[in-house]
């Protein structure tokens, strides 16, 4: 990989490893609908000027049904559940549980006909990864955090469904206008709930900075860097950074927010990453679909 490729890889590992930390800070001062509106509206405002060519939007409009389905699972439902869950559980646990999405995607792909077969290694990977999820979720499910943990697992499921929709129905749709359109639709959906729950007083500087970073860095800038990474190293190699994100989320929560580092966290992370690598491994020569970037 070139120095530019390594730089883009490192940037994406951090940019999509810190949203959980920022969400944890933001929900201290604003409601969940306000958080999601700020993130989607500002992100759309940054990306829309980059998609002014009318021809770029034609494929999006032709595939508006799967595009809306994609937007629902990837942003509208996922970011609501994710932000609500972080009102009750740590950002590090959230980031670790989200790491289960490749494992869930492998199962869903098989169940919906996307995979002809799962070999012994991939089946073993699923088992190892699910064991990691159980290690992480078990204490929460038995310790009074059952619903927030369930919300995060639902987010992981949304993040598994959205790439399947994109790969099967949106393959010829340019990613930048698709992402800008999805963010715009999500912003419109959350405008009413956000107005109804608008804060009575100005949030603290800490909260405002977290919201701005979520929207500009972890949403708009993230997509631009991700597309540059794909052009530099290719789609399949670009996605390797998703295995680094959980470790970044864990480190950020422990170092910056003083969240506890437990044996369950370390063991769960190791099991999920090992399971994800094995469960998503494909035979040599088999085509790998590029997963969507619009997440976290």
Q: How far apart, in whole angstroms, are the C-alpha atoms of residue 224 and residue 246? A: 21
* Residue 288 located in a structural domain: no
* Residue 268 located in a structural domain: yes
Confidence bin at 289 (pLDDT 50/70/90): very low
Query: For 188-212, b where at least 16 C-beta lie within 10 A, e where not — what string?
Result: ebbeebbeeeeeeeebeeebeebbe
Rg (CA), the chain: 18
**What is the average pLDDT value for the chain, to the nearest integer?**
84
* Residue 126 located in a structural domain: yes
pLDDT, position 260: 87
* Residue 296 located in a structural domain: no
* Residue 286 located in a structural domain: no
CB 123 within 8 A of CB 115: no
Task: Please report which residue ranges of the chain form alpha helices under DSSP H.
Answer: 3-15, 19-26, 32-47, 54-62, 64-71, 77-85, 91-98, 101-111, 120-142, 146-169, 175-196, 205-212, 222-233, 235-238, 245-256, 263-279
- Poorest-pLDDT segment among 20-24, 93-97, 198-202: 93-97
pLDDT, position 287: 46
Domain residues for the domain of 192 are: 3-279
Token pair for 241 = 């950074």
* Residue 293 located in a structural domain: no
Number of independent structural domains in the chain: 1
50 burial type by CB count under 10 A (0-12 exposed, 13-18 middle, 19+ buried)? middle
Question: What mean pLDDT is predicted for residues 198-206?
Answer: 94
- Poorest-pLDDT segment among 34-43, 134-143, 279-288: 279-288
User: Would the pLDDT of 73 be above 50?
Assistant: yes
Q: How far apart, in whole angstroms, are the C-alpha atoms of residue 230 and residue 283? A: 21
pLDDT, position 39: 94
């Amino acid at each position: 990989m070139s120095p530019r490729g390594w730089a883009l890889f490192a940037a994406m590992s951090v940019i999509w490893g810190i949203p959980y930390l920022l969400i944890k800070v933001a929900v201290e001062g604003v409601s969940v609908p306000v958080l999601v509106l700020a993130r989607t509206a500002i992100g759309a405002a940054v990306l829309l000027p980059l998609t002014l060519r009318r021809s770029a939007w034609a494929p999006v409009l032709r595939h508006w049904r799967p595009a809306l389905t994609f937007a629902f699972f990837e942003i509208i439902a996922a970011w609501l559940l994710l932000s609500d869950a972080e009102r009750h559980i740590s950002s590090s646990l959230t980031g670790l549980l989200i790491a289960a999405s490749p494992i869930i995607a492998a199962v869903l792909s098989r169940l919906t006909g996307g995979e002809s077969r799962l070999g012994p290694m991939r089946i073993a990977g699923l088992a190892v990864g699910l064991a990691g999820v159980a290690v992480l979720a078990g204490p929460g499910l038995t310790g009074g955090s059952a619903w927030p943990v369930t919300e995060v697992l639902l987010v992981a499921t949304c993040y598994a469904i959205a790439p399947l929709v994109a790969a099967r129905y949106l393959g010829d749709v340019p990613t930048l206008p698709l992402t800008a359109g999805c963010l715009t639709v999500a912003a419109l959906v959350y405008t009413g709930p956000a107005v109804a729950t608008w804060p009575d007083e100005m949030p603290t500087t800490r909260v405002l900075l977290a919201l701005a970073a979520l929207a500009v860095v972890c949403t708009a800038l993230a997509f631009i860097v991700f597309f540059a990474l794909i052009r530099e190293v290719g789609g399949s190699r670009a996605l390797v950074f998703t295995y680094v994100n959980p470790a970044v989320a864990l480190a950020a929560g422990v170092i910056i927010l003083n969240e506890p580092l437990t044996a369950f966290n370390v063991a769960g992370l190791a099991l999920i990453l090992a399971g994800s690598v094995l469960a998503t491994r494909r035979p040599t020569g088999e085509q790998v679909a590029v997963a969507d970037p619009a997440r976290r």
